[in-house]
Amino acid sequence: MKNLKSAMFGAMLTAILAICPLAANAGEFAVVDVNSVVENYTKAQEVAADLKVKESELQKFLKDAQEQIEKAKTPVEKQALEKKLGEQFELKRKAYLNSQADKWQAVEKDIIDTISSVAAKRKSDMVFNKSAVIVGGTDITDEVVKQLNTAKPVPKK
């Protein structure tokens, strides 16, 4: 039993000593609350609102299409309307999903670029999501949000 404790202590000591040089070489690190950045980034709020409007338009189209189908007089007319409106709905749905993906990718790129910029200014070697860090790191969340919200918009191509 005593030998087992000695062996475990030795293994732990070896592991700690092996990690120390890595920690000594690690520079400053920063943390950022990504959820807070997204919630407080004006462009992200605008994208979310815009997508909510488009989602409502899609739901309205679907409701109107269902009403048209219900008003069809014959089974043939009903089937033709289902096919036509179904295809239109699918096109609108795909356009909505593509738009949503494109807009959120742009927001994500802005956030990542700004985090990198702020970290570079502060000479931080690494940046972690605040939710993954228990203790330590310089919180750059407010600085990232401020820089994002004061940045000049990039002209659309």
Could you read off the pLDDT tens digit of each residue along the chain, which spans 157 residues?
Answer: 444 444 444 444 344 434 444 444 457 899 999 999 999 999 999 999 999 999 999 999 999 999 999 998 899 999 999 999 999 999 999 999 999 999 999 999 999 999 999 999 999 999 999 999 999 899 999 999 999 999 765 444 3
CATH of segment(s) 2-150: 3.30.910.20
CB 65 within 8 A of CB 85: yes
What pLDDT does 149 receive? 95
What pLDDT does 28 receive? 87
Residue of 33, 30, 31 lying closest to 145 (CA atoms): 33
What pLDDT does 113 receive? 96
Query: What per-residue string of b and e applies to 106-121 under the rule 16 or more CB within 10 Å gives b?
Result: ebeebbeebbeebbee
